Amino acid sequence: MKPYHLIIVALAVLTACQPPAPEEAAQLSKEELIKRGQYLTTIGACHDCHSPKIMTPQGPEPDPARLLSGHPKNDPVPVARGQEDWILFSQDLTAFVGPWGLSFSANLTPDDTGIGAWDFEQFKRAIRKGKYKGLEGSRDLLPPMPWQMYRNFTDDDLFAVFTYLKSLPPIDNLVPAPVAPADMQAMNRSK
């Protein structure tokens, strides 16, 4: 077999392995999918938790340089007491304390520290089943992620959101792991 035949075979195999786009999404151009995904991400309030904020005279607004990059990995987390009775948000609205412990919003950019290696099926599983990194057998997504509401998106809507997220500039931001309630109490005592 000649080398260019191997390339053709490899391309055919890779193309066959890609999941097809949902029916309606397949009729849109990539630009239209990105625009639709951006719209859905905006009205779905994804920036509320997944985009670090900057303080303005009107209050916190998404930092345009870090859109959808999740909780900043180097931001210190202040002591949070009373999480049994309250749900508390960090000032930039990317870290959350409640009866589940301490959770951080995920990096949704196409960097390897975000959804860079994910395929659409993995993204769909994360949203529909509430599974961490969209992996079967992984832990559940933690509050306040409202995946129970977002699982009602159509496949076309999810594909548009996924296409939009994959079009963003990748941001290297490895978000911290969540902290269990018992570990939160020990962490607070040490501060």
Domain edges within the chain: 30-71+107-173
What does the pLDDT read at residue 9? Answer: 43
> Residue 184's pLDDT is what?
79
Q: What is the largest CA-CA distance in the chain?
A: 69
Q: What is the structure's pLDDT at 4?
A: 43
Q: For residue 40, what are the contacts with CB-CB under 8 A and spacing of at least 6?
A: 153, 157, 160, 161, 164
pLDDT of residue 13: 41
Class for the domain spanning 30-71+107-173: mainly alpha
Return d(Cα 52, Cα 57) in angstroms, integer.
16
What are the C-alpha distances in Å from 24 to residues 40, 42, 55, 157, 176? Answer: 15, 20, 39, 9, 37
Question: Which regions of the chain are under pLDDT 50?
Answer: 3-19
Which pLDDT value is given to residue 85?
Answer: 72
